[in-house]
Amino acid sequence: MRCEFIAVHARHFDVEQDDVWFVILHDADCIEAIFRSGDSKPVALQEAFGHAPYRDRIVDDQDPLGAFFAFAIGAIAEADAERFREQLGVDPDRITVTGDSRVDQIIRRHEEAEGSPLVEAFEGLPWRYIVLGSSWPKDDEAFLPAAIDALHSHGESGLLIAPHEPGPRALERIEARLATRGLEAVRLSQLVEPRTLKRRNTAAARNPASWRIILVDSVGQLATLYRVGHVAFVGGGFTTGVHSGGP
């Protein structure tokens, strides 16, 4: 039913990697429904990676995939563009290498973080940070014991913990878990100004020991904090999904 709706009502069919294009390529019924709609619809495939095995599932030699993608393809890399040209029969003029926005934005944010006030606040500290990012309780149960062991066995290790939902209950739960191992965390807001993210001019902020175990009690800083880490664990993998999988 969804494919029929797309075929009948879409004047321009713009399919993105993050949405449904992979499913549509896998489902021959979707291809047939779109073709049955009559006019050849302009189709744009964004951030595409060409997987030759799907060619036999949806087209044959007399009906090349290029006839379906009548508008444009933005391939992630040149190797993907080559597969669309050589193995899937797409007109080379319709293919542009555009990159992968999910990866590219991470690289860009990592580069932009250099020299930011938050990164500068960590300059001169002796700690080699382990980052537990966007963590849920199940992540804490799995990861924190090992991270705490590393703190005890490697004196230069530091720990940055950023709960996925940094509310009072989550922060207090982590603080209590650390306390059972004789450790105390300092909340990031006690070390940097919330508005400017510059290091506070307080006795605690001037003491490197205060920066060894940091509990991130706000949102929006994690991408920058990954910049100061040496090892990172991204939460969410112990639930039904990855990163934002929920409790």
Q: How does residue 25 score in pLDDT terms, banded at 50, 70 and 90?
A: low
Please give the share of the chain, as a percent, with pLDDT higher than 70. 67
Please check the confidence at residue 169 and state whether its pLDDT lies above 80.
Answer: yes
Whole-structure pTM over 0.85, yes or no?
no
Q: Which residue has the higher pLDDT, 15 or 139?
A: 139
Q: According to the model, what pLDDT value does residue 59 have?
A: 39
Please give the share of the chain, as a percent, with pLDDT higher than 90. 46
Could you give the CA distance from residue 178 to residue 243 in angstroms, rounded to a whole number? 23
Residue count of the chain: 247
> What does the DSSP assignment read for 181-224?
TT---EEGGGTB-TTT-PBP-SHHHH-GGGGSEEE--SSS-HHH
Question: pLDDT tens digit string along 61-94?
Answer: 444 444 554 457 778 888 888 887 888 777 888 8
Q: According to the model, what pLDDT value does residue 41 have?
A: 47
Tokens read off for 110: 């990592």
Q: According to the model, what pLDDT value does residue 205 have?
A: 97
Residue in 136, 154, 141, 120 with CA at minimum distance from that of residue 231: 154
Phi, psi of 169 (to 5 degrees): -65, -45
Kindly give the pairing relationship between strand 95-97 and strand 157-163: unpaired
Q: According to the model, what pLDDT value does residue 58 have?
A: 38
Could you give the CA distance from residue 84 to residue 66 in angstroms, rounded to a whole number? 8
Q: What is the mean pLDDT of the chain?
A: 77
Span 218-224, average pLDDT: 91
Contact yes or no for 166/216 (Cβ under 8 A): yes
Query: Residue 201, exposed/middle/buried by CB under 10 A (0-12, 13-18, 19+)?
Result: exposed
Q: Which residue has the higher pLDDT, 6 or 24?
A: 24
Q: Which residues contact 25 (CB under 8 A, 6 or more apart)?
A: 31, 54, 57, 58
Question: pLDDT tens digit string along 109-121?
Answer: 777 778 899 999 9
Q: According to the model, what pLDDT value does residue 73 have?
A: 76
Could you give the CA distance from residue 130 to residue 157 in angstroms, rounded to a whole number? 7
